[in-house]
């Protein structure tokens, strides 16, 4: 047995637990008198908590996918299912949105999340990455790494990468130390890297370096682990770090086979499935992915009979608000962007409600672990609201749009990427002149477009190019004019597969065989809602309701800002779903909060989840940036039922 040293009860824990004592659910009284230890008994193939063998069922819930006001309730719902552990990633890009800028407030208040977990009698497994995949933009790595070091080799022994990780851990980890189990907190385990066995680099030096960088902070106060798919252990296993597996529903003999594979790399120690999938992720332009409850139960039972510990990924999925959704690399040239919802067909819905799957799992879990004496929280009320009428105000390409919403205008010989221009998300407008070639039509081709381009000639829409659909050229009639405008949309950096997913126009733009040069680039990050609000206020003052142009003519001349207001009574403040069924593709804001991308033309997600925390009694504002189409009456509705299956 590799016996880890333990640490006596610390003052931190007393401080933490005295507030816990007031809550309904306290940690066991033992904790106040005995040493707190969490360690591995390799000989007996088990975790040992405070001297006793310990097996658990946990569930993943990422704090960055739910409104902070709702964390406690969701954690309680998880505990009420019999889970003893909540598992979360830490998202570097959320906490360090710009180089040297840190945020641990609001939805980024991870310390609060961990305290609430402890209060709700849950232990915590921390997955700090720093690469987390998680269907998040760039797998959670900040975009600015690609700005600062264009040649960086992410997740390898690269000096620049390691220096930045070390700097980040020196900010994050001291905040986590008081929460490690042996220091009195709920964190029992800390992950080293994330599914590294699936990464092309397989860099042995980096694996040891990231292990030691983590160990510097955890020391013996939490157990280090890795997790990988059963076929990925060769590069995934790190010496002296507990290897665990990731796999979904499977038959008994397959599970036996998985454990056998694990045993080739981890001869002894507790068995663990760190990601048992009760649902699955979905991309745009495909069916909403589901996992049948009936298929889930036997494998979980089998793993528990095998004395394995199991973490369900996701138990509560949540939402990729704003521009946070990532994309998957589906093999060479295949780019699949993730939908905004991370409902995941998980046991708890996007709004945190329980489902038939939740209760089936709870019943099974209760046969192995005692259910706590707490009520399962009731599902939240949802509201259907009257339709809201939105009016078009401006297009990005016109003078008002540019003046209010752009963050820079730069010129260069060749097109530059989002990262070179230091822009994270949103859109970049690329403009140049079309040369006079004696052909009609002429093929316009973008080499390495990431990810989607709206093409205009003389500010009139001529078509869309798409990385997702592998369409990179379109014919243009030379009759149309000579000013070329290309709006490029970043649909989310790849989170799994290739690294360094730069955005924008990566190669060049051809007009037949002529390479177009001398570009003007204008950035529309749409990060600061105040700018959108100012634009709308200015135009309302200027024109009132005296606009004659049709919605169609707005959309023909560029991505259009629509705005409307609606009044809510106190009784109407409840979770709801924005339903943009007759709209095309874009992003929606309510009271300045970016709900995320919508794209009902392709699905499967139709509605966007609207948490009640962003609604107000009185006047509420809704703004949509629409790229493609809108109903001529400008109406959008709010429904009480999500629709994620409109494919």
Ligand X SMILES: *[C@@H]1O[C@H](CO)[C@@H](O)[C@H](O)[C@H]1NC(C)=O
Q: Which parts of this chain interact with ligand X (CB under 6 A)?
A: 1, 41, 43-44, 517-518, 543-544, 546
Residue for token pair 């507990």: 242
**Considering just the CA atoms, what is the radius of gyration of the chain in Å?**
26
Measured on CA atoms in the order 62, 66, 69, 75, is the torsion positive or negative? negative
Judge whether 305 counts as a catalytic residue.
no
C-beta closer to ligand X: residue 86 or 536: 536
C-beta closer to ligand X: residue 75 or 535: 535
3-state secondary structure of 376: coil
C-beta closer to ligand X: residue 383 or 442: 442
Kindly state the smallest distance separating residue 515's Cβ from ligand X, in Å.
9
Q: How far is CA 266 from CA 1, 202, 367, 368, in A?
A: 14, 18, 29, 25
Kindly state the smallest distance separating residue 442's Cβ from ligand X, in Å.
15
- The answer to whether residues 455 and 440 touch, using CB atoms and an 8 Å cutoff, is no
Residue nearest ligand X, Cβ-based: 544
Q: What angle do CA 523, 584, 321 make, to 5 degrees?
A: 60
Selection from 263, 318, 260, 386 nearest residue 135 by Cα: 318
C-beta closer to ligand X: residue 326 or 392: 392
What order do you get walking across the sheet with 509-511 strand by strand?
A: 473-476, 442-446, 509-511, 514-515
Q: Which of 275, 350, 489, 626 is labelled catalytic?
A: 275
Kindly state the smallest distance separating residue 54's Cβ from ligand X, in Å.
13
Q: Which of 164, 195, 350, 489 is labelled catalytic?
A: 195
- The answer to whether residues 429 and 397 touch, using CB atoms and an 8 Å cutoff, is yes
C-beta closer to ligand X: residue 295 or 514: 514
Relative to beta strand 519-524, strand 408-412 is antiparallel
C-beta closer to ligand X: residue 41 or 398: 41
- The answer to whether residues 75 and 24 touch, using CB atoms and an 8 Å cutoff, is no
Judge whether 491 counts as a catalytic residue.
no
Kindly state the smallest distance separating residue 481's Cβ from ligand X, in Å.
16
Kindly state the smallest distance separating residue 40's Cβ from ligand X, in Å.
10
Q: What angle do CA 347, 616, 75 make, to 5 degrees?
A: 25
C-beta closer to ligand X: residue 49 or 597: 49
* Alpha carbons 546 and 543: distance in angstroms, whole number: 5
Phi, psi at 156, each rounded to 5°: -135, -175
3-state secondary structure of 431: strand
* Alpha carbons 356 and 362: distance in angstroms, whole number: 10
Kindly state the smallest distance separating residue 48's Cβ from ligand X, in Å.
8
Kindly state the smallest distance separating residue 432's Cβ from ligand X, in Å.
8
Kindly state the smallest distance separating residue 483's Cβ from ligand X, in Å.
13
Burial of 185 from C-beta contacts in 10 A (0-12 / 13-18 / 19+): buried
Selection from 63, 183, 187, 71 nearest residue 123 by Cα: 187
- The answer to whether residues 593 and 540 touch, using CB atoms and an 8 Å cutoff, is no
C-beta closer to ligand X: residue 133 or 476: 476
Residue for token pair 């991309």: 283
What order do you get walking across the sheet with 391-395 strand by strand?
A: 391-395, 560-568, 618-626, 586-590, 593-598
Kindly state the smallest distance separating residue 439's Cβ from ligand X, in Å.
17
C-beta closer to ligand X: residue 41 or 160: 41
Report which DSSP code applies to 372: P
What order do you get walking across the sheet with 335-337 strand by strand?
A: 335-337, 327-329, 494-496
Residues in the chain: 647
For the annotated catalytic residues, the residue numbers are 195, 275
């Amino acid at each position: 047995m590799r016996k880890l040293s333990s640490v006596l009860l610390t003052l931190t824990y007393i401080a933490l637990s005295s507030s816990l004592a007031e809550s309904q659910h306290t940690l066991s009284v033992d904790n106040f008198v005995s040493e707190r230890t969490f360690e591995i008994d390799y000989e007996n193939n088990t975790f040992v908590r405070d001297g006793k063998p310990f097996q658990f069922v946990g569930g993943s819930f990422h704090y960055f996918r739910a409104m902070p006001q709702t964390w406690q309730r969701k954690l309680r719902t998880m505990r009420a299912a019999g889970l003893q552990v909540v598992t979360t990633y830490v998202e570097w890009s959320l906490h360090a949105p710009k180089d040297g800028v840190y945020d641990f407030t609001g939805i980024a208040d991870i310390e609060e999340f961990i305290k609430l977990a402890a209060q709700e009698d849950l232990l915590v497994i921390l997955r700090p990455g720093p690469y987390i995949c998680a269907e998040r933009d760039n797998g959670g790595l900040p975009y600015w790494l690609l700005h600062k070091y264009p040649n960086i080799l992410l997740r390898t022994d690269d000096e620049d990468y390691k220096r930045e990780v070390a700097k980040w851990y020196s900010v994050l980890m001291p905040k986590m130390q008081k929460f490690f189990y042996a220091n009195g907190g709920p964190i029992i385990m800390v992950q080293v890297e994330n599914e590294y066995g699936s990464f092309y680099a397989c860099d042995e030096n980096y694996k040891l370096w990231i292990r030691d960088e983590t160990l510097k902070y955890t020391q013996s106060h939490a157990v280090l682990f890795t997790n990988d798919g059963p076929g990925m252990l060769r590069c995934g296993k790190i010496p002296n770090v507990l290897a665990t597996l990731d796999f979904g529903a499977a038959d008994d003999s397959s599970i036996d086979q998985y454990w056998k594979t694990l045993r080739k790399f981890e001869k002894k120690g507790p068995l663990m499935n760190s990601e048992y999938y009760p649902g699955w992720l979905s991309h745009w332009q495909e069916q909403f992915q589901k996992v049948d409850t009936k298929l889930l139960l036997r494998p979980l039972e089998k793993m528990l009979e095998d004395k394995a510990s199991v973490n369900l990924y996701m138990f509560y999925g949540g939402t990729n608000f704003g521009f946070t959704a990532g994309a998957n690399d589906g093999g060479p040239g295949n780019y699949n962007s993730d939908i905004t919802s991370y409902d995941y067909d998980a046991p708890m819905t996007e709004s945190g409600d329980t489902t038939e799957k939740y209760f089936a799992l709870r019943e099974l879990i209760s046969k192995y672990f005692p259910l706590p004496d707490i009520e399962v929280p009731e599902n939240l009320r949802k509201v259907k609201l009257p339709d809201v009428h939105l009016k078009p105000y401006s297009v990005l390409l016109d003078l008002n749009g540019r003046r209010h919403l752009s963050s820079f205008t730069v010129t260069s010989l060749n097109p530059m990427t989002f990262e070179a221009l230091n822009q994270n998300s949103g859109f970049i407008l690329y403009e140049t002149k079309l040369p006079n070639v004696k052909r009609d039509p002429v093929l316009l081709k973008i080499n390495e477009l990431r990810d989607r381009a709206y093409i205009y000639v003389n500010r009139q829409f001529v078509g869309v190019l798409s990385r997702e659909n592998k369409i990179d050229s379109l014919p243009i009639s030379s009759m149309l004019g000579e000013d070329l405008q290309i709006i490029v949309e970043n649909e989310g950096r790849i989170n799994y597969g290739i690294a360094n997913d730069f955005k924008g126009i990566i190669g060049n733009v051809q007009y037949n065989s002529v390479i177009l040069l001398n570009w003007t680039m204008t950035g529309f990050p749409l990060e600061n809602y105040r700018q959108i609000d100012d634009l709308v206020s200015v135009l309302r003052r200027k024109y009132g309701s005296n606009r004659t142009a049709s919605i169609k003519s707005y959309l023909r001349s560029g991505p259009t800002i629509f705005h409307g207001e609606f009044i809510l009574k106190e009784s109407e403040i409840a979770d709801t779903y924005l339903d943009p069924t007759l709209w095309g593709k874009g992003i929606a804001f309510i009271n300045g909060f970016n709900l995320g991308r919508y794209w009902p033309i392709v699905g499967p997600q139709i509605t966007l989840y609207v948490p009640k925390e962003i609604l107000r009694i009185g006047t509420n504002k809704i703004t949509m940036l629409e790229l493609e189409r809108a109903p001529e009456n400008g109406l959008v509705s709010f429904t009480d039922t999500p629709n994620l299956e409109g494919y």
